Structure 1
Amino acid sequence: MKGAHHALCGAAAWVAVASTAPLTLGWYPVGPLGVVAGALVCAGAALAPDADHHDATIAHSLPPVSQWVCDAVGAVSGGHRNGTHSVLGVAALVGVAWAAGKVTATTSALGDLAVG
C-alpha cells in the first residue's frame, strides 16, 4: 500500500468514527472543524506503519531527519512489515502517542498548550 492509500484510510476511518460515534456510543458530537482536523491528524498517523521503510512517503517528508528516523525504526523493528505491522508495533505507537499527549507547554499568550 502506498503512502496516499495509508493516509486516505486513516482519514476515512476518522470520518467514519466521528460521524457514527455520537449516535452509536453517545459521545459528544464532533463539529465540522473537528472532523477536518481529525482527518488530517489521522491521515498523518496512518503513515506511521511504513516508518520502517527507507522509500516510504513518511521517510521523504522532512529530509534528512525523517530518513534517519525511518532507518532507525527499520533497524529496530526488523525491516519492512515486521515490527511496525504487528500488534506490538501498534501498542508501541499507541504508547508514544499517549506519552506525547501528556506533554504540555506553558506560554504567556495562550496559557497551557498540549504539545502532543
Structure 2
Amino acid sequence: MMWRTHAATGLAAGAGLLLVMPIHGPVNQLAWVAACGGAALIPDWDHHKSSVTIMWGPISRAVHLVVNTVFRGHRGGTHDWLIAPPLFALLAWLASLHPAASGVAVAIAVGATLRALSFVIPGPSEKSWPINLAASAAAGWYVSENAVQL
C-alpha cells in the first residue's frame, strides 16, 4: 500500500469508529478521524522515504533506523498480518497507561497527519519538520493535559 492508501484506510476506520466512540462535537470528531488517518501511516516507519520517517527530520529518521532493524526492513513485521495487530494493540495499551504516553502517541499521529497533508502546504516540506514537530508536540501536550478520563 502507498501512503495514500494507508491514510485513506485510517480515515475510514476513524470515521466508522465514531459510531461507537464517545467523541462529541464536529471539531473533536474531525480531530479523531484525522489522527486515525495519521496513525495508519505508522506501519511505514520501516521505509526510509515514508511520510512518517521524514515528518520530524533527524528525530523520526532515528526511529526509522530502529524500526527498520527490529522488523527486518520494509514490509517486515510492521506489515505482517499476524505480528502487526497485536503489536499496535500493545502500543495503544502502553499509550493509555500514562497521560504523557498518550501525549506522545497523539503527537506521532498528528505529525504523520500533517506530513501526509504536506502536498497542500506551500514550500519545501522537507524543511518544515521543525514546524511539524512543534505543532505535534503542542497537540500531544494539549491532549495529555486535557484528556477526559473514561
Shorter-chain TM range is 0.7 to 0.9
Q: Among 85, 93, 103, which residue is 1:90 paired with?
A: 85
What fraction of aligned residue pairs are identical, expressed as a percent? 34
Separation of aligned partners in 2, 1:53 and 1:4: 15
Pairing 1:16-35 to 2, within 5 Å after superposition: 16-18=16-18, 21=19, 30-35=24-29
Q: Is the 8 A contact 2:23 2:29 kept in 1?
A: no
Q: Report the structure number with the largest CA radius of gyration.
A: 1
Q: Is the 8 A contact 1:83 1:89 kept in 2?
A: yes
Question: Normalised by the size of structure 1, how large is the TM-score?
Answer: 0.75
Q: Is the 8 A contact 1:3 1:58 kept in 2?
A: no
Q: Is 68-77 or 84-93 further displaced after alignment?
A: 84-93
Whether 1:78 aligns to 2:72 is yes
What letter is aligned with 2:83?
A: L
Give the direction of change, closer, same or farther, for the CA distance of 1:7–1:97 in structure 2 (3 Å limit): same
Q: Among 103, 109, 112, which residue is 2:98 paired with?
A: 103
Q: Is the 8 A contact 2:6 2:37 kept in 1?
A: yes
Question: Normalised by the size of structure 2, how large is the TM-score?
Answer: 0.60
Separation of aligned partners in 2, 1:100 and 1:28: 18
The aligned length equals 103
Shift of 1:51: 1.0
Task: Report 1 or 2 for greater relative contact order, CA contacts < 8 Å, sequence distance ≥ 6.
Answer: 2
Shift of 1:102: 1.5
More helix by share: 2
Give the direction of change, closer, same or farther, for the CA distance of 1:29–1:38 in structure 2 (3 Å limit): closer
More strand by share: 1
Shift of 1:33: 2.5
Whether 1:4 aligns to 2:32 is no
DSSP-derived class of the 1:80 partner: coil
